[in-house]
A and B are shown apart, each in its own frame.
Chain A
C-alpha cells in the first residue's frame, strides 16, 4: 500500500471533505492525531459528546414549524456540530433521498426525515432503506402512500431502484411492477390539511397490500416491503454487489472525485459486503485510501451552495443565526428541503453560472461587511489574532491560510496583496494593520477570497 503523506494540508483536506472545513486549531488538532486517529475521530463519531451543542442549539429557538426554521436548524448543525461527518452524511442522504416541501407540504415531516437520516446515517444501509421507505415525507414525495393492490403506483418502486439502491440498468420494468406490488400497504395515516400535513405517521395497512406472488430480480415469492428491500440490497452480478458498487461509487464521487476507477469501486463494494453493508466502514475505507489524498483529489469538488455558506461561516469562526444563509440559498439554486425534482440537484459545475456567482458574492459580502451585533458576521481581529499582520503579504497569508487558500496561484496572491496596498484613490500605499485598515481591508480581502474561483472548490 502506498504510504500516505499525513500532514497539516492532508488534515485540512480531510476536514473539507468529511466535514465543512476546519479552523486552524481544528486542523492542527486533527493533524496531531495521525491518519488513523484522525479518520477514527470523524468516522466513529458516536464517541463524541454532543450534550453541550444540543443544549446550545435548543436554546436558539429556531421556528421548526417553518421551512426557513428547519433550514436554519440544519445549517446550524452543519456549521457548529462537534460531529462534522454526522452532519456531512446527513447532508449526503438529504441529497440522495431527495424529498421536497413543495409536494410533501408538512414541514414537520421534512424535519423528521432529516432526523431519521441522521440517526441511521452511517449504520447498516438496510436499516436506512427501510426507514426511508417508511418515512412519511418520502411516502408522500414519491407517492407510495397511494400505492395499493387495486391501484398500484410505481413511482417509489422505480426510484428506490434507480436513484437510491441499484442504479439504472440493474432492473427491468417487470421488477418495477413487482416491487411496487411488494410495497403496497406502506402508507401514511393522518395526512391532512387540518394540521398542515404535519401529523402524518407511517402505517402498514395489510388491507391494501398485494398478497400475490411476485417475481423480483428473479426471485419468486409473496414478498412484502422488507423482503423486497433485502432482495434489492443482496443483488449480486458477476462483478459483485450491485448496491455496494452503486452506493460505494456515489460516496466516492461525493467525497473524493468523479469517475472513480473500477478497482476503487470494487474495493468499496468488497468492504460493503464484508461489513454487512455498514456505511461507516465504507467511509473509513475511503478516508484511509491513498487515492483520497492524491493531488488531483484536492480542490476539485465544487462546494454546493449549502457547503459554501456553511464553510464561509465555519472557517471564519463566524457567528450566525443562519437566517441570511438560509435566505440566500435560493439565489444560489439550492433551496434546502425544496429541490427541483425527484432526482435532486446535480453536482459539480452545474451549480455555477453568472447569476449564482453574484448570489454567492452577495451572501459573502453580507457576511464580510456585517459590523452589527446580530445576523451572520465574523470578527476580522479574531482572524488575525496572535499573528504578525504588519504587512500586506503577511495579512494575506494569514487570511489565505484561514480559508485554505495558501495554494492559490502566485499571481492571485499578488492580486490580493496589491488590493491591500491600494487606497481609495487607486494609489499604491503600503498597508499597515491599523484598526481602520483591518476593518476595511481585511473585510474586503475576506470577501474577495470567498468569491475567488479557488474557494468555490473544497
Chain B
C-alpha cells in the first residue's frame, strides 16, 4: 500500500504535538501521502455511496411518461408527463432534477432500472439489512463493502480508507478488520474538552495521546483501544482541516445532503487515500402528502450531485470518483388516498461519473405486470448492480463478495483508466 499506519501517524504528528487546535494541514501539505504511482489505477479510485433512506419513489424519479398506465395509477401524485425531462422515448427525469439531467446530457449518468431482490420484504428494517449486507437470507453480518474492505484494505493502516457521513456506521461498511469513522458533522469527530478551560485543551489532548500510546511488550486489549485513540486524533486532525481554505467549485444546496457531499469533496481533495465515502439522506418514506414532500427531496439529490461533480471538475478530481445511489425499496405503483405511496419493491438507481457507459440499463418499469401486492417486478438483481461496481470500478472479485452468477450489467467502461 501507499502508506502505513505509522506513516499516517507521523505525517499527522506535526500538528498533533505542536498544537491540536491549529489546522496546519493544507492542500499542498497533503501531497506527501498521495498514492504511489506504482499503485494500480483502481487503488486510487473513490466510490461514493448515497443512501436514500425510507424508500425512494422510483416511479416519480425516473418517470415512465410514455406509459398511459402511469397517469391512471398515479392519478393523485403523478408527475404531469409533459413536464418530465426526457431521457429517451419512454423515460424521463422528475422536472426538478435539472442538475442530474445536465450530467446525463454530458454522458456521465447511467440509470439502472428495476433494481431489487427476490421475494421483496416490504419492511424498511429487513430490506435495509438485505441491501446493506447483499444477503437476502440475512446470515452475513458484515456489509457488502465491509467484506470488500476486509479483503482489500485490512492492515493498510490508513484510518481514513472508508468514512461515513452518517450518525452511525452504515452496515454496508461494517467490516471485521477495517475501522470506519462515521459522523454527521466534523464537529463531533474530535476529542472534545472542557469548554470553560480552553487554555487547558492542549494539555488534555496531549495527555490523551500519551495515555493512548503506551508501549507494551505484549499486545493487550488496552493497547488496541489506545491505538484507536491515536488513530482517532490523527484522522480527526486531518479531517478538521480539509475544509480549511477550501473553495468549492460547485453550488451545494444548503441542507444536510449538500453539506455531506461538500465534506466528501473536501476529503477527496485532501488526498488522504479515501476509497469509500458514504452519505445518507432521509425522508423518502412518503406515505402521505408525497406531492409536497418528494419534490424537494429529488431536487436536493439532483442539485447536490450536480454541485458535487462541478466541484470535483473544478479541482480536477472527477476522474477517480464514481457515485452510486441506493434505497431500500421503491414504492407502490398505485398512489394511496393520502396522496402518498406505500412500500414497494424495485426502483431505478443512478451511477454517476466519467467511467459510466451513459444510458439506461433495463426496460421501462412494466406497470401492467405487478405482483400480488400491486408492486413492480424485479428486473435487475441488486447483486448485479453491486457486482458491476465491484468488478469494474473497484476491480474486485465480485463473486467472492456477492457469490457467483450475477450478470455484469455493463454500465461501467471496463477500459476506463
Contacts and interface: CB of A to CB of B under 8 A. Distances in A.
Contact of A362 (B167, B180, B188): B188
B204 A419 contact: yes
B204 A353 contact: no
Interface in A427-458: 440-441, 443-444, 447-448, 451-454, 456-457
Contacts of A425: 199
Interface stretch (A18-26, A45-53, A200-208, A407-415): A407-415
Interface residues of B, number: 49
B241 interface: no
B114 interface: no
Contacts of A422: 203
A419 B203 CA distance: 6
Interface string A2-33: 00000000000000000000000000000000
A357 interface: yes
A324 interface: no
B338 interface: no
A113 to B, nearest CB: 17
Given A357-B228, A448-B208, A457 B221 contact: yes
A103 interface: yes
Contacts of B224: 349, 352
B1 interface: no
A355 interface: yes
B137 to A, nearest CB: 12
A424 B193 CA distance: 14
B229 interface: yes
A353 B194 contact: no
Contacts of A355: 169, 180-183, 189, 232
Contacts of A353: 169, 179-181, 228
A69 B161 CA distance: 38
Contact of A440 (B197, B226, B235): B197
Nearest to A413: B211
B212 A444 contact: no
A302 interface: yes
A354 B236 CA distance: 9
Given A330-B168, A354-B231, A365-B192, A341 B211 contact: no
A354 B214 CA distance: 17
A218 interface: no
Interface in A340-354: 340-343, 346, 349, 352-354
Nearest to B226: A453
B204 A349 contact: no
Nearest to A363: B192
B195 interface: yes
Given A354-B159, A355-B169, A424-B199, A440 B222 contact: no
Interface string B188-224: 1111111111011011100110111010000001111
Interface string B301-335: 00000000000000000000000000000000000
Nearest to A419: B207
Interface in B104-128: 123-125
A397 interface: no
B179 A354 contact: yes
Nearest to A342: B138
B379 to A, nearest CB: 28
B69 interface: no
B192 A330 contact: no
A354 B211 contact: no
Contacts of A103: 123, 125
B395 interface: no
Given A300-B221, A340-B171, A418-B207, A331 B188 contact: yes
Nearest to A456: B225
A78 to B, nearest CB: 22
A366 to B, nearest CB: 8
A295 interface: no
Nearest to A361: B191
B141 interface: yes
B212 A426 contact: no
A457 B193 contact: no
A382 interface: no
B57 interface: no
A269 interface: no
A359 interface: yes
A456 B203 CA distance: 21
What are the 9 A-B residue pairs with the smallest beta carbon separation, nearest first?
A424-B199, A354-B232, A369-B194, A415-B210, A453-B222, A453-B225, A419-B207, A453-B226, A357-B232
22 contacts: A300-B221, A302-B225, A331-B188, A340-B129, A342-B138, A349-B221, A349-B225, A352-B224, A353-B169, A357-B225, A357-B232, A358-B192, A361-B191, A411-B214, A415-B210, A440-B194, A447-B193, A447-B194, A448-B204, A451-B229, A453-B225, A453-B229
